[in-house]
A and B are shown apart, each in its own frame.
Chain A
Amino acid sequence: MDESITLHVDGRKRSLTVDTRTTLLDALRERLGVTAPKKGCDHGQCGSCTVLLDGRRATTCLTLAVAHDGAEVVTADGLAEGDSLHPVQRAFLDHDGLQCGYCTPGQVCSAVGMLAEAAAGWPSHVTRDGAGRVELTDEEIRERMSGNLCRCGAYPNIVAAIREVAR
């Protein structure tokens, strides 16, 4: 079964018809040619496909495109304006928070989403004091970024990059 939907992707309005079984990730990658979000597992287990979906980080392999008619999607590509990088992206380069780069767009989107969550006072598993302001200690950053796997093992540099932006 097909459905027509409209997505706003990195500031561009994109209308398309999708098989209702198509994930948001496949709609972006295979239908719209938006390949900044990566497919690492297709099961919500690795975080490579993370984008900002209506402002929040989301794994796009785990949701169907048809459920997001009208949604706003920001990918790592859209976080940068041309060659002018988002501060999180700049920090990833400064700290070499990547090797093969495959997990990286997802890490970057996840970090941007996570910083907003922390600023809004959302607690995490390691937050000692459940209410109020979250201090982004390294432990908090590691916990909040653990949905994004990196087989190259760039974690210490990713944490350093996020720490720099958070402070």
Chain B
Amino acid sequence: MTTELVTVDLLHFHAIGVPLERADGTIKVTGRAPYAFEHPVTEPVYLHPVQATVARGRVTGADTAAARALPGVIAVLTHENAPRMVSGDDPELWVLQSTEIAFRGQFVGAVLAETLEVARHAADLVRMEYENLPHDAELDPRRDDLYAPDVLNAGYPTDTAEGDVDAAPAAVTIDRTYRTPMEHNNPMEPHAVIALWAEPGELLLYDSSQGVHRVRGALATAFGLDPGRVRVVSPYVGGGFGSKGSAHAHHALAVLAAQAVPGRPVKFALTRQQMFSQVGYRTPTVQHVRLSATADGRLTAISHEVVEQTARLKEFAEQTAVCSRMMYTAPNRRTSHRLARLDVPVPAWMRAPGEAPGMFAAEVAMDELAVACGLDPIELRARNEPGTDPVTGRPWSGGRHLVECLREGARRFGWDPRDPTPGVRRDGEWLVGTGVAASTYPRHLLPGNRATVRYTPDGRYSVLIGAVDIGTGTWTTLAQIAADALEVPVGAVALEIGDSDLPQASVAGGSSGMSSWGSAVVAAARAFRARYGEGPPVGAEASAEAPAEPGGDFAADSFGAQFAEVRVNADTGEVRVPRMLGVFSAGKIINPRTARSQFIGGMIMGLSAALHEESVLDPRFGHVVNHDFADYHIAACADVVDIDAAWLEEVDPHANPMGSRGIGEIGIVGAPAAIANAVHHATGIRVRDLPITPDRLLTHGLL
């Protein structure tokens, strides 16, 4: 194995690194940017779905007469009359094609009507009959039918083992179980689509998507269509955080409906409630972590064993323990993932799948170890720094700067001097504490990216790629990359994204967007300059693919340090977070203004996970009880006080021509652990289950 690092041909940074205002800012603050449901269409048909009211079973009958009799109803689709699909390779998309019901809320019908109101009313009038089969919707780590998936999400192996964890010498051992709940992405824009079918086989979708080509490919396969005749358009997307990264059942239902009314656009926006069963969620986890260490805090063994749920309909195996494979050095190590296959909706990606729940358990365990060893938690982490990646033995691309992040964060946060004694700082009715945790997220580079550069009559450069901006700043940052790649001012770049008719692009997921799309844009710009030089003729055009991994054999991960101050009300158990700071090492920051927003946005989602978020699935019925914003609280303005993010000024010379590694997800990772560790420092109560709601503190001795 070679460990040679190749320095890539880096751009000269002019536009990159400048805190440019968002290119789409004006049309967003005025509400003029068109999101999926807002594209003007004529004579739309509105779709309202009918959802299964059993968690497992079979449809035995459908009485649609009353619905069809309602004025304004155009059609009622069920498995009996829906158009046929071609491929059930993705069972989530196999909608109205059989009588089987795999989870409560599954689509079993759809009403098409002239107005939203009529569609909704008519959907209520559809009477479905079911054969109700016994279902199983409870995640219990003691189940005897847990199984090991073949491979985890993102291709990670299911289990790893090195040395002998059980025989490792241990002066100090932490052996604990941590739990994270089911959580829902809840982007502010509900998943929505307008589908227009033209015979004999042309499909246009205005979609709220993180990946126009990914959705196009999935639907082309499911419906047996030529991908070249399917077009997915998503210029503006109201957040996604993973849930809009794949095609889901509502896409298929909308296409079926569009096929039933050719030539008329079908509008279908999920309600907030429907999103809790249709578009994925973060799987709940039960994580058993065991750390063994010498008395001076050197890890001798790390074990991280995870039980989590998947759906009977389709497997999703979250990579929860992979962080424990590479965070710290230890000669003995074991990680494993076991799944319970339940009659529940299909889990999927939610911001930092794997790292977000995994680093909660792992970093709270490290804090417990620091307390047990009598060490400062930053010093404990510094003592266990690996020189090279424990998984591959390779050096880190751009270096591993976790300790710098921790030390820089400590300096800015005012960490020292810190009395480690828990539960001794009181300000009136409030107990005060501080906590720290590390964060990490891998640098993902996705294949299949292509871009085109074209010189236009107005003397500008059109840069074309089917990337998307889900709030990440792509409209701005990809133009900055293009400007530096062409060596022109940003104003000379006319970026076109968000349309599958543009050159092929990978999904906005796994913090891979800038690395993957940016590499293609740079390749196209360089091909353009190589062919036409500095004075291209109008109409000059060049396209290129992003190269495969450019920088040789290395480990590619970003790191960070999260600091939190908490105040815990001694009487009510309420937890407030007056202050949070994150310091990150993520390579070159393309746009400091949008980057800071993304970092703090991730941290706020972490705060929300720490204190508020939990989807409560009632195992008796198989549905999420608290399926709206009244009962599934996400952090509101009043929950977020002083949150800031900083980063190390660096360039990763091996990652890609921008020197960047991606920043969309690392902000959430470690934030819940930092808050939980601060809660322990404030109260002396170690909360190992998220979210840290008052009841957990009150029942563990706060009062």
Contacts and interface: CB of A to CB of B under 8 A. Distances in A.
Contacts of B644: 156
Given A29-B38, A36-B30, A152-B188, A101 B236 contact: yes
Contacts, number: 186
A138 B643 CA distance: 13
Question: In the complex, which of the residues B271, B471, B629 has the most CB atoms of chain A within 10 Å of its own CB atom?
Answer: B471
Given A41-B629, A152-B239, A19 B115 contact: yes
B26 to A, nearest CB: 7
A98 B25 contact: yes
Contacts of A92: 25, 29
B612 to A, nearest CB: 12
B31 interface: yes
B30 A153 contact: no
B116 A99 contact: no
A102 interface: yes
A100 to B, nearest CB: 3
A163 to B, nearest CB: 12
A54 B28 CA distance: 23
A161 to B, nearest CB: 10
A149 B40 contact: no
Nearest to B643: A156
A85 interface: yes
B188 A48 contact: yes
Given A79-B30, A151-B241, A40 B188 contact: yes
B394 interface: no
Contacts of B603: 153
A76 B31 contact: yes
Contacts of A158: 637
Interface in A40-59: 40-43, 45-46, 48
Interface in B225-258: 236-239, 241
Given A75-B31, A89-B29, A151-B186, A41 B272 contact: yes
Contact of B471 (A22, A76, A101): A101
Contact of B472 (A37, A93, A99, A151): A99
A63 B472 CA distance: 33
Interface stretch (B1-9, B591-599, B687-695): B591-599
B629 A35 contact: no
Interface string A78-98: 011001010001001110101
Contacts of B22: 93, 96, 98
Contact of A154 (B37, B269, B601, B641): B601
Interface in B166-193: 186-190
Nearest to A161: B29
A105 B30 contact: yes
A39 B121 CA distance: 19
Nearest to A31: B115
B682 interface: no
Given A46-B188, A99-B597, A35 B635 contact: no
Contacts of A83: 26
B498 interface: no
A103 B238 CA distance: 8
Contact of B24 (A38, A48, A80, A101): A101
B35 interface: yes
Contacts of A39: 37, 190, 269
Nearest to B593: A96
A48 B269 CA distance: 15
Nearest to A36: B31
Contacts of B628: 41, 43, 45
A146 B471 contact: no
A104 B31 contact: yes
B605 interface: yes
Interface in B102-129: 115-118, 121
Nearest to A89: B29
Interface residues of B, number: 62
A99 B471 contact: yes
A102 B640 contact: no
Contact of A38 (B25, B35, B598, B604): B35
B637 A145 contact: yes
A142 B640 contact: yes
- Which secondary structure characterizes the binding site on chain A? loop
Given A29-B38, A93-B22, A104 B28 contact: yes
Interface residues of A, number: 58
B634 interface: yes
A30 B31 contact: no
B34 interface: yes
B117 A22 contact: yes
Nearest to B629: A45
A102 B35 contact: yes
A108 interface: yes
A159 interface: yes
A150 interface: yes
Contact of A156 (B31, B37, B600): B600
Nearest to B580: A156
B34 A152 contact: no
A157 interface: yes
B189 A100 contact: yes
Interface in A1-40: 19, 21-22, 26, 29-30, 33, 35-40
Interface string B22-50: 10111011111111011010000000000
A146 B636 contact: yes
Contact of A100 (B30, B38, B237, B635): B237
Contacts of A45: 272, 628-630
B271 A151 contact: no
B237 to A, nearest CB: 6
A153 to B, nearest CB: 3
B116 A76 contact: no
Interface in B501-531: none
Given A45-B629, A93-B25, A93-B26, A38 B640 contact: no
Given A89-B29, A154-B597, A42 B272 contact: yes
Contacts of A155: 604, 635-637, 640
Given A99-B473, A153-B604, 17 more contacts: A35-B31, A39-B37, A45-B629, A46-B629, A77-B31, A85-B30, A96-B597, A100-B238, A100-B239, A103-B238, A104-B29, A104-B31, A138-B641, A151-B186, A151-B187, A152-B239, A153-B635
Interface of B: 21-22, 24-26, 28-35, 37-38, 40, 115-118, 121, 186-190, 236-239, 241, 269, 271-272, 470-473, 593-594, 596-598, 600-605, 628-630, 634-638, 640-644
9 contacts: A26-B116, A29-B37, A36-B32, A89-B30, A102-B189, A103-B238, A150-B637, A151-B241, A159-B637
Closest 10 CB pairs of A and B: A36-B31, A100-B471, A102-B238, A101-B28, A153-B604, A105-B31, A99-B471, A153-B601, A45-B629, A35-B38
Interface of A: 19, 21-22, 26, 29-30, 33, 35-43, 45-46, 48, 75-77, 79-80, 83, 85, 89, 92-94, 96, 98-105, 108, 138, 141-143, 145-146, 148-159
